[in-house]
Chain A
Amino acid sequence: SQQGEEDPQALSIQEGENATMNCSYKTSINNLQWYRQNSGRGLVHLILIRSNEREKHSGRLRVTLDTSKKSSSLLITASRAADTASYFCAPGGSNYKLTFGKGTLLTVNP
């Protein structure tokens, strides 16, 4: 399966700092998606990066993908308290099934 494993499991930073979280997976993928989940809410889609892309930006978010290392990273610049949430990566393979890891719990302290 294409389960993503996020690292670290928890990250605590101050407002204004950058936050970097990583994702590793085991099999080849077609794309990889990053999601944010606020406590008790649904998953909000952040970015989809395809296997032939190396980097993608969206506002304060920057995602990189290294298929040779089977890893991806999500960088949030100038973090805000509102960025406090769990972040999940979802490697996409040959079907629609997404297999999630435990996520990274990001806490941004004001």
Chain B
Amino acid sequence: KAGVTQTPRYLIKTRGQQVTLSCSPISGHRSVSWYQQTPGQGLQFLFEYFSETQRNKGNFPGRFSGRQFSNSRSEMNVSTLELGDSALYLCASSLEFGNTIYFGEGSWLTVV
């Protein structure tokens, strides 16, 4: 079956703009989480959604937001982009607590 799918794979945005990234989890998975990966900070947890509810949130400013739809697909949004937001954004999905967490290929965001 298909893995975690993220779109777009690559994008370039200008400072001050906003961006929306999309994630389709593995079929049947209801938990979707997002991570940011940068060379300096490594892999950092952004937030996790389950059945359209945000259950966990990392230490990121309010410019970072997300949502989950009834079909478990998720989007994350970053507003008022800053240069430091340039990163690989990874989405992950899981069937339920305690099960394997699978990651997508990520969305490369470059802010110029």
Contact = CB atoms under 8 A, between A and B. Distances in A.
Nearest to B102: A45
B101 A33 contact: yes
* B contact residues, range: 20 to 34
A40 interface: yes
Main secondary structure of the interface of A (DSSP, over half): loop
A10 to B, nearest CB: 15
A23 B111 CA distance: 34
Contacts of B4: 42
A42 B98 contact: no
A101 B50 CA distance: 25
A96 B100 contact: no
B26 to A, nearest CB: 11
Contacts of A97: 33, 45, 48, 56, 58
Interface of A: 30-31, 33, 35, 40-45, 48, 50, 88, 90, 92, 95-103
